[in-house]
Amino acid sequence: MRTCQALWRLVTYRPGLYSANVIAWIGILMAELAAGYVAKLFFDAITDASPAGLTVESIIALVVGVGIVRIVTILIGALTDIRHRYTMGSLLRHNLLNQVLALPGAQPLSCSTGEALNTLRDDVQVLEDTISWIVDQFAFAAYAAVALAILLTIDARITTVVVLPLLSVLVAGRLVSKHIRRFREASRRAAERVTGAIGEAMEGVETIQLAGAEQHIVEHIRVLNEERLHATVRDRLLTQSFHAFFWNAATLCTGLILLAAADGLSAGTFSVGDFALFVVYVGILAEFIAAFGDFMMHIRQAGVSIERMAVLAPENRQEAVVEHVPLAIRGPQPKVTLPQRSPGDRLSELRVENLSFQWPSQTTDEDAQRPSLTRISFTVCRGEFVVVTGRIGSGKSTLVRVLLGLLTKTGGRILWNGYPVDDPASFFVPPRSAYTPQVPQLFSDSLESNIRMGLPVSSDVLHRSIRAAVLEEDIPHLHDGLQTLVGAKGVKLSGGQRQRTAAARMFVREPELLVFDDLSSALDVETERHLWERVFERKDRTCIVVSHRRPALERADRIVLLREGIVLGVGRLSQLLETHQEMCDLWQGQAFRSGQRP
């Protein structure tokens, strides 16, 4: 995605507001132009060079009047700019969040969460500035045109002598600005590493405290901090030298006026008022050119930011970062639509045929450790309880993730009632399916919101799903019952409560197909027993469960036994125990430990 294209998409998002902003800022600069002209009128008046014959008193009144006009124009410009900036920031953050959520849910982001946050915070800010500063460029152009016209009518020769160097500086500046991008990128990367590391330290604070490793982590981040210091100072130094180059040019131009106007002033053909006007206008023009140089640099920085944003979106959807979506920063928002159940959604049979999955090759060598899947096939019929089992790294979790589209399959077909599912990610959602991952995440909100996640079902359904998840006894013990705020990532709940909350979240969606990954891992025996009982209570439920727990294996209508991403066998427990040593090992693993009981 090219920088200009992206910026153009953003500028055209709210053309009305943007135009109003441009007009307001042109107004601000025109009023400033008038203030400069009043100074000329003053000097002309006292040196009697004024053709208009204005009195000093009326000029002083004019100074105050122009001041008031300027205040009004600034207020209008402020209101349009703040509003437009906020709209831009919100649009970009909306699109980024939307794109991140559109990625296959279990596919790792191309960067850490801390880095992604950095993009959402700082890179969006950079673009917000860029868009706002484009407005300034329009206003500067208008100012420059009018100012040049006035200067040319006063003295064309002096104007040419002074303005030509300004233009050459502009060209020279463009040549230098190429290098800025590299330094900017380096300093951004260094900043990211610091925020990423701080984020991890905060997430892992318990681990760090338990290990007494506080000092070592601080030391680790101190090193990253140092790197950031060097990168940032280098970046700032270059930016500042660049800036100084422009400002220097502005002052040199004032020197040029001195030289060019010497003869005119002596001869009386160039008034002190003209001189004052030249110094003021050329000073402001040079300021604009300096600002324009900054702007050109900023455009390059915006390019870096746009690239970093694009990385968060899927590869073929990078332009989605700047797409136009309805967005109201005030007033009502678009309504949420309830998932509608259509007759075709009713599950009678789910068939998985030759499902394969391979991690993309360009990812790190760590991926070699992650399980892939080779030609997995099995069938789930309505009302069946299917267990996926196998030892660690056999691809159990990967299988359910690929099935649900949380990872993108690299081969095979999924058939829902015999019809192939084109896009599992958008198909396997409520009311067709719901899912509880191995390590469920909760969000800092109330317990009820964490279960509903926006689903406006009746409290009857809510309580039914709470019961199904064996959570009903915990709720009275919580501070505010269902309204209890669960804290960041649900830390105020115990591990088991978190897991059962996630289960309730799945149940409340009343899907055709329930998929849960190792639901009972953090539960004690009794709670686990209750949970299984309640899962089996409803015979019409269709479930795919990743588990190695005996109650699950025993009740399974079908077990999919995996090893190293390949199906060893599919069948009931008794069949698999007879035919597969692997099944015996898994079963014995438990039997061995339980067998020591008296």
Partner 1 sequence: MHVPIKQYYGLLSKYLRPQRSQVLALSLLILAAIGLRLANPQILRTFIDTATESGPREVLLRLAALFFAIAVFTQGLSVAATYVGETVAWTATNALRLDLLEHTLQLDPTFHKDYTPGQLIERIDGDVATLSNFFSRFTIDVVGNGILVMGILGLLFREDWRIGLPILGFAVVTLVLLVWIRKLAVPHWTKYRALSAEFFGFLGEHIAGREDIRGNGAEEHVMRRFFGFVQSMFPVRLRSSLGGYGMWMANVGLFAFGHAVAFGVGASLWRSAMITIGTVYLVFHYTELLRGPISELRTQITDLQRAEAGIRRIRALLSTESCLANGGSASLPRGPLALAFEHVSFAYETARSEANGPPKESPRVTALHDVAFEVDPGSVLGLLGRTGSGKSTLARMLVRFYEPQQGVVRVGGRSVRDVQLCDLRRAVRKVPQEVQLFRATIRDNVRLFDPSITDAQVLQALAQLGLRDWVARLPLGLDTMLAGDGGGLSAGQAQLIALARAFLADPGLVILDEASSRLDPATELLLEHAVDRLLEGRTAIVIAHRLSTVERADQILILDDGRVVEFGAREDLLGNQDSRLRRLLRTGLAEVLA
Give the footprint of partner 1 on residues 458-517 (CB under 8 A): 474, 477-480, 484-489, 491-497, 502, 505-506, 509, 515
Give the footprint of partner 1 on residues 358-387 (CB under 8 A): 364-367, 369-371
Q: Hunting for tokens 């095979």 — which residue is that?
A: 412
Q: Per rule CB under 8 A, is residue 537 in the interface with partner 1? A: no
**Shortest distance (Å) from residue 358 CB to partner 1:** 16
CA dist., res. 495 & res. 504, Å (int): 14
Q: Is 301 exposed, middle or buried (0-12, 13-18, 19+ CB in 10 A)?
A: buried
Cα 485–chain centre separation: 25
Of the two residues 301 and 527, which places its CB atom closer to partner 1 in the complex? 527
Say which residues have a Cβ less than 8 Å from residue 384's Cβ, sequence separation at least 6. 542, 543, 557, 558
> Binding mask 219-258 vs partner 1 (x if CB under 8 A, - otherwise)?
xxxx--xx-xx--xx--xx--xx--xx-xx--xx-xx--x
Q: What is the amino acid identity at position 416?
A: W
Of the two residues 418 and 454, which places its CB atom closer to partner 1 in the complex? 454
CA dist., res. 504 & res. 90, Å (int): 32
Of the two residues 74 and 415, which places its CB atom closer to partner 1 in the complex? 74
Q: Hunting for tokens 């009794």 — which residue is that?
A: 526
Nearest to 510 by CA among 554, 552, 465: 465
> Binding mask 288-327 vs partner 1 (x if CB under 8 A, - otherwise)?
---------------------------------------x
Give the footprint of partner 1 on residues 163-202 (CB under 8 A): 194-202
Name 513's bridge partners: 433, 542
Give the footprint of partner 1 on residues 414-443 (CB under 8 A): 425, 428-430, 434-443
Q: Per rule CB under 8 A, is residue 584 in the interface with partner 1? A: no
State which of residues 317, 344, 453, 574 lies at the interface with partner 1 (CB under 8 A). Answer: 453
Q: Per rule CB under 8 A, is residue 52 in the interface with partner 1? A: no
The 10 Å Cβ neighbour count of residue 561 is: 24
Of the two residues 366 and 540, which places its CB atom closer to partner 1 in the complex? 366
Stretch (H or E) spanning 116 = helix 113-118
Phi/psi for 167 (5° steps) reads: -65, -40
Q: Per rule CB under 8 A, is residue 209 in the interface with partner 1? A: yes
Residue 252, CA distances (Å) to 244, 247, 261, 262, 282 in order: 12, 9, 14, 16, 11
> Which token pair is 552?
């699950």
Of the two residues 3 and 273, which places its CB atom closer to partner 1 in the complex? 273
State which of residues 3, 159, 394, 465 lies at the interface with partner 1 (CB under 8 A). Answer: 394
> Which token pair is 351?
């068939």
Name 290's bridge partners: none
Q: Per rule CB under 8 A, is residue 261 in the interface with partner 1? A: yes
> Binding mask 7-36 vs partner 1 (x if CB under 8 A, - otherwise)?
----------------------------x-
Residue 62, CA distances (Å) to 33, 59, 270 in order: 13, 5, 23
Of the two residues 242 and 295, which places its CB atom closer to partner 1 in the complex? 242
Q: Per rule CB under 8 A, is residue 141 in the interface with partner 1? A: no
Q: Where are the alpha helices (DSSP H) in 177-213?
A: 180-203, 205-211
**Per rule CB under 8 A, count of chain residues that contact partner 1:** 197
Of the two residues 156 and 259, which places its CB atom closer to partner 1 in the complex? 259
Of the two residues 138 and 245, which places its CB atom closer to partner 1 in the complex? 245
The bridge status of strand 419-420 relative to strand 433-436 is: unpaired
Q: Per rule CB under 8 A, is residue 585 in the interface with partner 1? A: yes
**Shortest distance (Å) from residue 413 CB to partner 1:** 21
Q: Is 487 in contact with 444 (CB distance < 8 Å)? A: yes
**Shortest distance (Å) from residue 146 CB to partner 1:** 19
The region of 78-86, 169-177, 341-349, 458-466 touching partner 1 under the rule CB under 8 A is: 78-86
